[in-house]
């Protein structure tokens, strides 16, 4: 995550304004007691191993759980392997290290997760965006882009990064048909796909279509996962599943190892069933908050404002009336009582100026009501 | 750490052989209860913050403690800043990302920490070694090397990596005079210094001379520290202190953030005085083990074997009689009852074939006795 950029936006938040800015989980859902119990168990059972340099049963325990989860999603561990990482961003960074060189072209959705744009920029790559609509990335726009590039004698992109399930920042989900078409294009133009599944477990109405990784027969998809939204961000743990040879390449550039104590804690946590137990409550909480935010948008927004209708994840994407700039509107909005993240933060190019992202997970329902009210007022004032 | 290489050597260890191979702390010193108490405290006091994305008092708490420690060593936080990292290797990796480009020349001690060689190699740099004697890196050999390179029209090195205190793998400590000379050379030839202080707290007889970073007046030294040897490796936490502009550059390429829960735990741990309380016991334990290993070497080694006399740290470096190859000897030695790490692992070039590293921290005293006996036998057999 590009913390410096993140930090500067964070400072906009004031004590008086409702923060709809950040993709923070609801802290009331943090499983403090269960983490505490799990730490106690791992220290008692395997403390000498879990506190030592890597290696021991506690690591197997977490890996087994994750593999079983990924297997249920359709990943084949005859051909794939799993690597535990210091969070999903670390997994993405590791993939970049293994496969990208300065000057390579990388395709992303526009808009896309702002944190990952910072990571990609560190690698000196050329980032090209493809628009998103209600069914996720517009794969025909991608096809056109690829063909145009090829005709112009430009190299094929090296990698495509996508968040197909409950996309950050738009909340949209890539349709099954588009997943298949995306793989066709990847095969034709020979690029890899980095599939970010950070929100996959957080379906609120129904599960997303199968991960792109499970439809892939040509060993070109790496899937990334995270515990940040299903346990807590602060435990800083994620993973990647990839075809074995890719996982080996990623492993060889991963530096410094993982937090074996937290691996041990999470192993016990998952083994005890806490992970699975908590998901229904998380979904119920976020479903209610999403429904509430959508209802408030419906009730309070001016008629010429539109927004997405996410079936999962953390975010709603709002398109403002023509000519209203989400960046200029932020400061007055904060004074009126709400903060959000302006659209341009999520664009690899200069797009997004009249859009913004709202997060419905962090704040309470009455704050959502007040926040949307302040947003509606700010839009009217900005006209 | 280059885990794949580490893993393959690890496999040499058998249940029957005494492992003098790895730089593992004594697990009897792991502060399970104190970590447990600290977790309980941070979850109770600041759980919502410590489990969320970064930011909160718990982070201040750890940073304040570390700054106070570094200040006592002589670091000036008017001109320097501190960055918490996912362990020392992550700190080193971050520095490489910020400052190295493929083809750059990097100077290291030969021998040096094998794990870091793997990190450096990931960056495609040209690694050049400078010999070590009883007073640490031979800085006059370095001066000659720099002059020769300059005369030959080669670029100055970009960075010099050193472990001046209780060096891994030799256990030697860079003298005060050499620290000053090293800085002179760095200023003359305009390279940065990456000072690895992973063992600085583990003085057994007396403290090492002041860190190079505290003698530096030209903003070219980055100092790295770690909790791996003073708390436990499994908590995977370290830091770097650097002149502010360097710290800013490092910060901007650090990816994915740190483990805020463990930062919180360690903040409480250090605040409660546990860190300072444990150090005397750690030193006493390792002093006894080191003394025992030195006595056993004295008692059991053939007359033509020599070894270093460390005043701190984890390691003793052994030079075998001419013509005995430490790599070929490893498998028979493991069968005889001891494992170690062969010298070549620690060399950036093809040196080290008749040397090896022993770690005195992990095993018990009677195992040290048995291990040195098996080593003496293996040497005799290898003649």
User: Which residues in chain B have their CB less than 8 angstroms from residue A92's CB?
Assistant: 256
| First-to-final CA distance of chain B | 34
The confidence score (pLDDT) of residue A257 equals 83
| Cβ–Cβ gap B89/A27 under 8 Å | no
List C-alpha distances in Å: A91 to A159, A282, B235, B255, B336.
15, 24, 19, 10, 42
User: Rounded to a whole number, what is the distance in Å from the CA of B31 to chain A's nearest CA?
Assistant: 9
Tens-level pLDDT at each residue, chain B (383 residues)? 333 334 444 444 556 899 999 999 999 999 999 999 999 999 999 989 999 987 778 888 999 999 999 999 999 999 999 999 999 999 999 999 999 999 999 999 999 999 999 999 989 999 999 999 999 999 999 999 999 999 999 999 999 999 999 999 999 999 999 999 999 999 999 999 999 999 999 999 999 999 999 999 999 999 999 999 999 999 999 999 999 999 998 888 876 788 999 999 999 999 999 999 999 999 999 999 999 999 999 999 999 999 999 999 999 999 999 999 999 999 999 999 999 999 999 999 999 999 999 999 999 999 999 999 999 999 999 99
Token pair listed for B8: 């393959």
Residue to mutate among A11, A30, A51, A97, with most B CBs inside 10 A, is A51
User: Is B14 buried (19+), middle (13-18) or exposed (0-12) by CB count in 10 A?
Assistant: exposed
- Specify the DSSP class assigned to residue A127: E
The count of C-alpha atoms lying within 13 angstroms of the C-alpha of B379, restricted to the half-sphere facing its C-beta, is 22
> In A317-364, where does DSSP find H-type helix?
326-336
Q: Which residues contact B173 (CB under 8 A, 6 or more apart)?
A: B135, B136, B164, B165, B166, B167, B208, B209, B310, B311, B312
The count of C-alpha atoms lying within 13 angstroms of the C-alpha of A366, restricted to the half-sphere facing its C-beta, is 0
- Specify the DSSP class assigned to residue A27: G
User: Which residues in chain B have their CB less than 8 angstroms from residue A48's CB?
Assistant: 27, 30
Inform me whether the C-beta atom of residue B181 falls under 8 Å from chain A C-beta atoms. Answer: no
Strand partners, B238: B85, B226
What is the C-alpha to C-alpha distance for residues B377 and B375, in angstroms, rounded to an integer?
A: 5
Nearest by CB to residue A252, choosing from B4, B32, B251, is B4
The confidence score (pLDDT) of residue B254 equals 76
What is the C-alpha to C-alpha distance for residues B82 and B218, in angstroms, rounded to an integer?
A: 18
Token pair listed for A133: 């609509």
**Cα angle vertex A123, ends A120, A126, to 5°?**
70
Token pair listed for B202: 């583990």
| Cβ–Cβ gap B232/A262 under 8 Å | no
Task: With CA atoms as reference, report the closest residue to A29 among A237, A265, A228.
Answer: A228
A251 contacts B1 by C-beta, under 8 angstroms: no
The confidence score (pLDDT) of residue B184 equals 98
For chain A, residues with pLDDT lower than 50 are: 1-12
Q: Which residues contact B11 (CB under 8 A, 6 or more apart)?
A: none
Q: Where are the domains of chain A?
A: 3-31+276-382, 32-274
Q: Which residues contact A180 (CB under 8 A, 6 or more apart)?
A: A215
The confidence score (pLDDT) of residue A54 equals 78
- Specify the DSSP class assigned to residue A19: E
- Specify the DSSP class assigned to residue A62: H
| Cβ–Cβ gap B257/A1 under 8 Å | yes
CATH class of B13-30+276-382: alpha beta
| First-to-final CA distance of chain A | 34
H or E segment and range at residue B209: none
User: Rounded to a whole number, what is the distance in Å from the CA of A9 to chain B's nearest CA?
Assistant: 14
| Cβ–Cβ gap B52/A27 under 8 Å | yes
The count of C-alpha atoms lying within 13 angstroms of the C-alpha of B202, restricted to the half-sphere facing its C-beta, is 34
| Cβ–Cβ gap A236/B260 under 8 Å | yes
Q: Is B365 helix (H, G, I), strand (E, B) or coil?
A: helix
- A 229-288 near B (Cβ less than 8 A): 232-236, 251-262, 264
Residue of B nearest to A5 (CA): B252
The confidence score (pLDDT) of residue B16 equals 82
List C-alpha distances in Å: A382 to A19, A43, A318, B22.
19, 56, 15, 64
What is the C-alpha to C-alpha distance for residues B267 and B66, in angstroms, rounded to an integer?
A: 9
User: Which residues in chain A have their CB less than 8 angstroms from residue B24's CB?
Assistant: 52-53
| Cβ–Cβ gap B4/A97 under 8 Å | no
User: Rounded to a whole number, what is the distance in Å from the CA of A50 to chain B's nearest CA?
Assistant: 6
The per-residue pLDDT for range A66-101, each reduced to its tens digit, is 999 999 999 999 999 999 999 999 999 999 999 999
Residue A350 has phi, psi (to 5 degrees) of -95, 25
Domain B32-274 has CATH 3.40.50.2300: no
| Cβ–Cβ gap A1/B55 under 8 Å | no
The confidence score (pLDDT) of residue A253 equals 83
Nearest by CB to residue B51, choosing from A22, A233, A264, is A233
| Cβ–Cβ gap A261/B256 under 8 Å | no
User: Rounded to a whole number, what is the distance in Å from the CA of A304 to chain B's nearest CA?
Assistant: 34
Strand partners, A314: none
User: Is B121 buried (19+), middle (13-18) or exposed (0-12) by CB count in 10 A?
Assistant: middle
User: Which residues in chain A have their CB less than 8 angstroms from residue B54's CB?
Assistant: 3
What is the C-alpha to C-alpha distance for residues B153 and A279, in angstroms, rounded to an integer?
A: 63
| Cβ–Cβ gap A122/B97 under 8 Å | yes
| Cβ–Cβ gap B234/A261 under 8 Å | yes
The alpha carbon of residue A279 and the mean position of all alpha carbons in its chain are separated, in whole angstroms, by 17
Task: Tell me which fold the domain A3-31+276-382 belongs to.
Answer: 3.90.1150
List C-alpha distances in Å: B299 to B138, B292, B369.
30, 10, 10
Strand partners, B223: B195, B241
Residue of B nearest to A46 (CA): B32
What is the C-alpha to C-alpha distance for residues B264 and B279, in angstroms, rounded to an integer?
A: 20
| Cβ–Cβ gap B257/A122 under 8 Å | no
What is the C-alpha to C-alpha distance for residues B356 and B367, in angstroms, rounded to an integer?
A: 18
Q: Which residues contact B149 (CB under 8 A, 6 or more apart)?
A: B105, B155, B156, B157
| Cβ–Cβ gap A22/B51 under 8 Å | no
Q: At what angle do helices B114-122 and B3-10 cross, to 10 degrees?
A: 140
A258 contacts A284 by C-beta, under 8 angstroms: no
Task: With CA atoms as reference, report the closest residue to A212 among A80, A105, A75, A64.
Answer: A75
């Amino acid at each position: 995550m590009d913390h410096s950029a993140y930090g500067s936006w964070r400072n906009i938040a004031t004590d008086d304004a409702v923060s709809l800015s950040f993709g923070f989980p609801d802290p009331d859902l943090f499983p403090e007691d269960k983490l505490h119990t799990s730490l106690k168990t791992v220290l008692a059972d395997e403390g000498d191993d879990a506190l030592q340099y890597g290696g021991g049963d506690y690591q197997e325990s977490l890996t087994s759980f994750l593999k079983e989860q990924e297997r249920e999603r359709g990943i084949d561990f005859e051909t794939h392997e799993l690597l535990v990482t210091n969070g999903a961003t670390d997994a993405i960074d590791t993939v970049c290290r293994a496969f990208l060189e300065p000057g390579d072209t990388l395709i992303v959705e526009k808009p896309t997760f702002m944190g990952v744009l910072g990571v990609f920029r560190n690698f000196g790559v050329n980032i090209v965006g493809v628009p998103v609509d209600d069914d996720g990335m517009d794969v025909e726009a991608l096809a056109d882009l690829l063909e145009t590039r090829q005709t112009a004698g430009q190299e094929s992109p090296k990698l495509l990064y996508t968040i197909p399930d409950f996309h950050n920042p738009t909340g949209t989900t890539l349709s099954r048909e588009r997943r298949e078409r995306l793989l066709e294009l990847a095969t034709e133009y020979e690029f890899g796909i980095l599939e970010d599944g950070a929100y996959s477990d957080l379906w609120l109405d129904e599960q997303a279509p199968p991960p792109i990784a499970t439809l892939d027969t040509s060993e070109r998809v790496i899937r990334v996962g995270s515990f940040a939204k299903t346990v807590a961000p602060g435990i800083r743990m994620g993973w990647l599943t990839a075809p074995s040879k890719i996982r080996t390449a990623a492993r060889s550039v991963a530096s410094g190892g993982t937090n074996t104590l937290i691996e041990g804690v999470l192993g016990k946590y998952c083994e005890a069933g806490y992970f699975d137990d908590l998901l229904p409550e998380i979904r119920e909480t976020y479903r209610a908050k999403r429904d509430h935010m959508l209802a408030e948008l419906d009730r309070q927004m001016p008629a010429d404002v539109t927004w997405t209708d996410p079936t999962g994840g953390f975010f709603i994407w709002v398109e403002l009336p023509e000519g209203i700039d989400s960046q200029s509107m932020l400061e007055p909005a904060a004074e009126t009582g709400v903060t959000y993240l302006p659209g341009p933060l999520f664009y690899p190019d200069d797009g997004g100026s009249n859009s913004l992202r709202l997060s419905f997970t962090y704040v309470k329902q009455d704050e959502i009501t007040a926040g949307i009210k302040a947003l509606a007022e700010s839009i009217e004032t900005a006209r």
